[in-house]
Every structure is written in C-alpha cells, then in structure tokens.
Structure 1
Amino acid sequence: MSKARKTDLVESIKEKGKTIEAEMSFFDHLAELRIHLIRASIAVIVFTTVCFFYYDFLFDTIIMGPHKPSFWTYRMMCKVGEYFNMGPDFCITNIPGKIINTEMAGQFTLQINSALMIGVILGFPYLLWEVWLFVKPALKDNERKSASGFVFYASMLFIIGLMFGYFIVAPLSINFLSNYSISPDIENTITIDSYFSSVATLTLCTGAIFELPIVIYILSRLGIMTPKFMREKRRYAVVIILLIAAIVTPTPDVPTMLTVSFPLFLLYELSIAVSGRVEKKRKKAEKEFYAN
C-alpha cells in the first residue's frame, strides 16, 4: 500500500472517530436533557395533584375571583374613585353575565385543566432551574457569571407579570367584556370554558410579556437587538401599549389607562437599559481584545 493511501486511510479513520464521538456526545446530551425534563415534569405533577385535591379554594377564590364584585381590584377601584371623586362609573359593584356549563364532562374537565395550568405555573421556576442546570456546563466562565441570576430574574418577572395580569388586566377585561353589548335583546350567558380561557390567557400572556427584559438580554447577547433600535421604535411601542390599555380598561379616562399602561412603559424602558448594558460590555470586551 502506498504512503498516500496509508495517509488517506489514517485521516479517514480519524474523521470517522470524530463523527462517532460527536454522535455519542449528542445522544449523551439528549439523555441529560431527558433527565432534567423528567424532574421538571415530576414537580409539575406534584403541584397539579395538590391543586386538584384543594380545588374548592382554587376555584372559588382564585378562578372565580375576578368575576366577583368583592374582588380586591374592584374594592380598591371603589376606594380610589371615592378618594379622587371620579364618580360612580369608576367603582365596579356588579359583573353582569351568568356563567354556565354546557357539556356533560365540562366541570370535571375544567377541574383537571385548571389544576394542570396552575401546577405548571407553580412549577415554572423549578423548570427554569432545570434548564439552567442543563445549559450551565456548556457556558464559559464569563458567560456563566453574567447569566448566574437567570432563574431568579426570569421567575420574578414571570410572577410579577402574573400578578399584574390577574389583578389588573384580567378583572378590567372581564368587566369590560361582560358589560359590552351591541343590543339590549342579547343577554350575556358565558360558558365556564370561555370564562376560564379568558382569565388564563390574559394572565399567562401578561406573565410572558413581562419576560421581555430576559428576551432582550438574550437577543442583545446574540447581537440581534440593540438599544438604538429599541429607542427608534419607541413611538410604535407607545401606540401599542396605549391600545392595549384602552381595550382592557373599563372607562376611557386617563388615570385608568395610565394604571395599565405605566408598568408596560416601564418594562419597555427596562429592556432598553438591559440591551444598553449588554452592548456596553460587548464593546468593552472587544476593545480589550484588540488592545491585547
């Protein structure tokens, strides 16, 4: 066998070895990810089981809360309206619309679905922790240090978003939609599935929206998002936020709209600051690299 053929054979064996090693590494990572997902699923199942057996409190107090005039948000609105002399329209004392069930297994399905949803919400911080444990070994020391607070900040933002969605966005939206009528001949009779879907969607979507600084941080680290771009698009963000506030508020007065829109404005400005900090660190690192 010629020397050239021997060299080709050796190179071929090396390349094959690298391929096998990469494939083994890939499947090892999948096995590791599977373990983390199983642990997160077990946590969700535990929380879901607890919610299922304590469903009376969950349903009467949590799920049906925004449909009751005694809900915390409505009581605070009455006090604020009375203090600032905003008139009786600002005080919500009645939520019209009868909630019914139209399916044979509707209430049982509702109990399972709502318990599962709240179980996922309660298990979300632990899910983030498992994701962090999976990603952490692949990060460099500086990346690991800069992302060390990922689980805490992401969990806190999600919880704050849930609270804002549940106590502000959901009750104001329910009041608005329940009182909205195009004809006095049409009576609002709401199915329990529709009501629960509305509360869950508004609450979870708000929680997801509050993750904006985390998303901007990741996009900024990848070089996709810049603070300059976000500042240039601020006017569009303002219009979108005001539209959202106008839709969910029960009255068109400015104080109520500001109550809903102000946290969203603050969130957008916080995202700009996060992106600016990432860009500043990246430029500093590039400057040090070229200096050396």
Structure 2
Amino acid sequence: MALDQYNEEEEEEGMSFLDHLEQLRWHLLRSIAAVFVFSLMAFLSKSFVFGQVILGPSKVEFVTYRTLCKLSDWLSIEALCIDQLPFIIQSRQMTGQFSMHLSSSLVIGLIAAFPYLFWEIWRFISPGLYDQERNAARGAVFFVSLLFFLGAAFGYFILAPLSINFLSNYQLDPSILNEFDIISYVSTLTMLVLASAIMFQLPVVIYFLSMSGLVTAAMLRSYRRHAIVFILIIAAVITPPDVISQVLIAMPILVLYEAGIMIAKRLEKRKKKEELEY
C-alpha cells in the first residue's frame, strides 16, 4: 500500500502541464456526460418533470400548501392556509415552451448529477493536497452533496412556494391580472432553488477557510453582526421583495453560520491537541 501510494505521488509529480490539462479534460467530459444523461432522462419525462416538479409550486395541491392548510386547521389560523393562487402561466414567445423544456431539463440534470460532478472535481484536486489535508477533508463529497440537496429542497418546498404565493397575490389594482410568462416563472423557481443550494454550502466554506488558517472562531464571532447584515442583503437580492421570504432564507443561513463557528472551534482544538502531541 505504501509503495503504491509512493508510485502514485511520484507519477503525479512527474506530470507535465499538458498532462494535467488532459486529465482535466477527461474529468470535464465525464461530468458533462453525466449531466447530459440526467438531462435527457428529464427531457423524456416531460409530463412528470413539468406537470409535477416544475409546475408543482404553482398549484394549490402542492404538498407545501396542503401542509399549511392542515397546520391552519390545527392552530385555528385561517391566514396560514393557501387555497388559491390567482395567476395563470402563459407562453408569449413562439419558442417559449420548447426553450423552457430544454433549460429546465438541463437544470434538473445538473442538480441530479451534482454529487458526481463534485466527485470528479475532487478527484482532480485531491492529488495535489498533502496527506494531512486530504485526511482532514475526508467525506467532503458526501457533506457537500448533502448540504446541496438540503438547500435545494429548502428552496423548492419552502422558499419557492411562499414566494410564488406572495407574488401571485400582490396587486397594484384589482383590475390588473397576474399572467406570468413561462420563462419568468421557471427562471424565478430555478434561481430560488439553486441560490438556496449554494447558500447552504456556508459550513463547508468556513471549514476549509478555518483549516487553512484564514478564519478563526473568534474572528467569526466578532464579525457576527456584519455577517447578519450581509446575509440579510443576500437574502433580499435572491428572494422576491417580501419580508417573509427574506427571513425564511436568512434564518437557516444564520444557523449554518453558527454551525460554522462551532466547526472552526473544533478544528482549532484539534490543531492545538496535535501540536501538544508533537
């Protein structure tokens, strides 16, 4: 085992710049192939993908709305129940439906293939790390993928339905009807889901920054107020202009920030312990 590892490291060190480019090309090709396969599957499942997944949050039968109505009955708060979405979705461009079919299939393929994409990226990066760094980052593919899917699920089941409800019920005057274009609807849904998935990577970012010594738990605690303001600004940018949506996206990010402080603190304790042992 030790000899094999030595040979792999020696081979890695002997690779030229062009060899690295060739290796990167194959990683990218395999990643693109994975996205293409999942995108093709989504494209061929048009009735399910559009009828159930993409257009799901636009229907009152969506699981989030039904859950809120049940919660409304239990708490006797009628305002919680969302039993109507006063808008219709139209396609005002000749290529609108087809282009949205293609783009939405691509987004679903990207989300479904994300663990494999990150695994390919990690396979390309990890040989350049020291053994200590590689061991410290063990399980990175699992945790990054887990946080990505948790963020995407939060965006799809929580943030998107409540944002769509707010935007569909917002009217300047009763005479103005809400008729949304399919491109606008799909773009809004995609932005909310992907933005949530990316924002949920905050603990991973803090972990690697802390591991490299760029941030500390004390630094994160001292800049907590600045972080809260920054998170609220980001939430205001990626969500519709309603306070509920901004708070909904900001709250889990603040929790993840606090989790990042705990991670940084644990890393510092482990480093001190290793230093004392040496």
For residues 179-198 of structure 1, the C-alpha deviation after alignment (integer angstroms, 9 at most, x for no partner) is 11222232211100000000
2:190 to 180, 200, 206: 200
Counterpart mapping for 1:18-33 below 5 A? 25-33=16-24
**1:190 aligns to what SS in structure 2?**
strand
User: Where does residue 76 of structure 1 map in the other structure?
Assistant: 67
User: Where does residue 19 of structure 1 map in the other structure?
Assistant: none
Residue 264 (structure 2) pairs with residue 275 (structure 1) = yes
**Root-mean-square deviation (CA), in Å?**
2.5
State whether residues 172 and 248 of structure 1, in contact with CA within 8 Å, keep that contact through their aligned partners in structure 2: no
For residues 107-145 of structure 1, the C-alpha deviation after alignment (integer angstroms, 9 at most, x for no partner) is 111110000110011111001111111122222222111
**1:99 aligns to what SS in structure 2?**
strand
Residue 104 (structure 2) pairs with residue 114 (structure 1) = yes
**Cα separation, 2, equivalents of 1:138 and 1:202:** 35
TM-score by length of 1: 0.82
1:66 to 40, 52, 57: 57
Q: 1:135 to 1:42 in 2, by over 3 A?
A: same
**Cα separation, 2, equivalents of 1:218 and 1:58:** 36
**Cα separation, 2, equivalents of 1:257 and 1:80:** 22
**Cα separation, 1, equivalents of 2:256 and 2:123:** 27
Residue 228 of structure 1: how far off its partner (Å): 1.5
Q: What letter is aligned with 2:74?
A: Y
Residue 277 of structure 1: how far off its partner (Å): 2.2
Counterpart mapping for 1:185-196 below 5 A? 185-196=175-186
**Cα separation, 1, equivalents of 2:207 and 2:71:** 37
Residue 25 of structure 1: how far off its partner (Å): 1.8
State whether residues 57 and 160 of structure 2, in contact with CA within 8 Å, keep that contact through their aligned partners in structure 1: yes
Q: 1:125 to 1:190 in 2, by over 3 A?
A: same
User: Where does residue 79 of structure 2 map in the other structure?
Assistant: 89
Give the greater-gyration-radius structure (CA): 1
User: Where does residue 136 of structure 2 map in the other structure?
Assistant: 146
For residues 162-187 of structure 1, the C-alpha deviation after alignment (integer angstroms, 9 at most, x for no partner) is 11110000000110111112222322
**Cα separation, 2, equivalents of 1:257 and 1:160:** 18
Q: What letter is aligned with 1:189?
A: E
Flag as ranges the 4+ runs of structure 1 deviating above 6 A. Answer: 247-252, 256-259
Residue 157 (structure 2) pairs with residue 157 (structure 1) = no
Aligned residues with identical type, % of pairs: 44
State whether residues 89 and 251 of structure 1, in contact with CA within 8 Å, keep that contact through their aligned partners in structure 2: no
Q: 1:97 to 1:240 in 2, by over 3 A?
A: farther
State whether residues 241 and 265 of structure 1, in contact with CA within 8 Å, keep that contact through their aligned partners in structure 2: yes
**Cα separation, 2, equivalents of 1:59 and 1:50:** 13
Q: 1:251 to 1:31 in 2, by over 3 A?
A: closer
User: Where does residue 5 of structure 1 map in the other structure?
Assistant: none
Residue 237 of structure 1: how far off its partner (Å): 3.9
**Cα separation, 1, equivalents of 2:191 and 2:41:** 22
Q: What letter is aligned with 1:74?
A: Y
Residue 261 (structure 2) pairs with residue 263 (structure 1) = no
TM-score by length of 2: 0.86
- Higher alpha-carbon deviation: 272-281 or 146-155: 272-281
- Higher alpha-carbon deviation: 227-236 or 45-54: 227-236
1:46 to 22, 37, 41: 37
Residue 248 of structure 1: how far off its partner (Å): 6.5
